[in-house]
Chain A
């Protein structure tokens, strides 16, 4: 058994897949370097991430745009062992051309992960709450279940074209920053982001309070349905929703 150890980047994963084909590896698993546990029976090979090779794999999958989508989202899902499901699906689709065959376990698994990541993306587009800083940057902090920042950047850029903003993923310690021209990835000292109140604009408090008021007044008491409410807004998301954290 060969173990291909990669650096956890998407290009790294594609490079590993390239290597599987190039070296015609049959008994192979792909594992992230942080998960590496010594295994007496296998031979470990380090994958050197190579954009050229990654590109070739990506281009090779071009006829299967649905599969490409699923691979990228399954990668962002960060499930353990996802690399091998992805590899299996790639092998199956290249052989049979059936990227929509949900009867195949690997394809079905990718489809499910894709759905989960899609749901999380949609949630973040909804649940991001910006605070206006003194310098007029709008800042939001999130901790999504999956790594969806790369997926939501476009949505926020087209929505807030005239507003400098930053969305920071505290769990993965990186963020996106829009400077009115383009969106960049950034790394910051996450400790500083834990107490935003120190840098927010004076009017922030007013809008914060009015939004909480609005949330309360728009509910209809005689219809209360807590279970339904929780299904839509699971507790783990409450931390950054100001309407759920009254003053």
Chain B
């Protein structure tokens, strides 16, 4: 092994891959049955965290950063003057195995710039995965990037080795894509998604008839959208997300605040702050949709096309719907409990459990660890003590903001000053 050479490639190709935020390694159920290496049946583990606080779970690299395209938002674009490198297939296999054996990672997340053609590139990605599975007996997690425009046959093969497949839509609106990646066709992104979705369904139904049917992308597919590159609204982003969740059965949609990497008059200038708070609000919205039974139209609509910056989306919704509160926590159903600002699903389950044995009052709620500073304005319990004043939404909001030290406070003070 030429250590110094590989080391240099790793530095270049990890650096180029880091803007893809997905690092999930869960949901695969691939067990170690062949006495081989690795097991992906668990929850997915973060083996470390970057200094920006993101989970490190996979070895996330590009096979190469050579690319024939010139997408404006991408560091690897053809016209960007940077160092280029490319791994050999065996080099990626060896790195993955050796990192995995030392318990550094859960597996590999392999993406690539597009060299010669989409199919040629996709074939190389598949070759790495195939080698890991068939020659190295590797049962760790493999996430492959689908290359826009590659053939259905290749997508079909990719899913036989990969746990997850993803293709990043990157730009949430078709018009934005035209502007920033004129050589790329929206359809080239959609087709692999469609193929993967159909294959997952086919293999699943075959598995029901014949147990020996191999699994196909057991951890499903995901996509990513860049936030804040093209002036899209939160409504644009979340309505797209809902579309991808429902039409293509996405496991996850990721939102990635745009990090200015190069000067281009179509994009925010270098040095523009990464919209991390906005990104965070989008993730909160995503959770409310997936786990809290909200409909996207309740949170974002014509009258309310952007999320509030200073408060979270659930609180914002509650303040617009005060007529539904206060909620009696000893009687309300799960759906309504989940809508109380400040109550997470864990708290909801704790309440449902605890109230089987006794009527809950404030003391009980505190004892089981419910954080009250937001919730108290929106609920009643077994106590004569509760917020009786008919408060205006604005007033509740300011009382809550005063009592909570948001970790983002500094940031939105800064951002608000801009207006």
Query: Which A residues fall within an 8 A CB radius of B?
Result: 98, 100-103, 108, 122, 125-132, 138, 140, 155, 158-163, 203, 206-207, 209-211, 213-215, 217-220, 222-229, 231-233, 241, 243
Contact = CB atoms under 8 A, between A and B. Distances in A.
Interface in B1-39: 1, 3, 6-7, 10-11, 14-15, 17-19, 31-32, 35-39
B21 to A, nearest CB: 9
Given A217-B15, A228-B52, A229-B52, A160 B357 contact: no
Contact of B32 (A140, A159, A229): A159
A219 B384 CA distance: 52
Contact of B50 (A140, A206, A220): A220
B35 A223 contact: no
Contact of A214 (B1, B10, B38, B259): B10
Interface centre among A130, A209, A223 (most CB of B within 10 A): A223
Interface of B: 1, 3, 6-7, 10-11, 14-15, 17-19, 31-32, 35-39, 41-42, 45-56, 59-60, 95, 98-99, 101-104, 137, 257, 259, 273-274, 276, 350, 353-354, 357-358, 364, 367-368, 407
A213 B10 contact: yes
Given A207-B98, A223-B52, A102 B353 contact: yes
A13 to B, nearest CB: 26
17 contacts: A101-B354, A101-B357, A130-B102, A158-B31, A162-B37, A203-B1, A210-B6, A210-B7, A213-B14, A214-B14, A217-B18, A218-B14, A219-B18, A223-B52, A224-B51, A227-B53, A241-B48
B35 A232 contact: no
Contact of B104 (A155, A161, A203, A211): A211
A131 B52 contact: no
Nearest to A159: B39
A207 B99 contact: yes
B102 A138 contact: yes
A243 B273 CA distance: 28
Nearest to A209: B7
Contacts of B6: 210
A57 B53 CA distance: 45
Contact of B358 (A103, A162, A213, A232): A103
Contacts, number: 144
A120 to B, nearest CB: 14
B45 A126 contact: yes
A161 B37 contact: yes
B51 A219 contact: yes
A207 B31 contact: no
A225 B35 contact: no
A214 B18 contact: no
A211 B49 contact: no
A215 B10 contact: no
Contacts of A209: 7
Nearest to A218: B18
A246 to B, nearest CB: 13
Given A159-B39, A210-B7, A219-B51, 16 more contacts: A100-B353, A103-B354, A122-B45, A126-B47, A127-B47, A130-B103, A132-B102, A138-B101, A158-B41, A160-B101, A162-B36, A207-B102, A215-B50, A219-B50, A224-B51, A233-B49
A163 B39 CA distance: 13
B50 A108 contact: no
A103 B369 CA distance: 11
Contacts of A138: 101-102
A229 B49 contact: yes
Given A161-B35, A161-B36, A211-B102, A229 B50 contact: yes
A160 B97 CA distance: 11
Leading 4 A-B pairs by shortest Cβ distance: A228-B53, A223-B52, A219-B50, A232-B49
B343 to A, nearest CB: 16
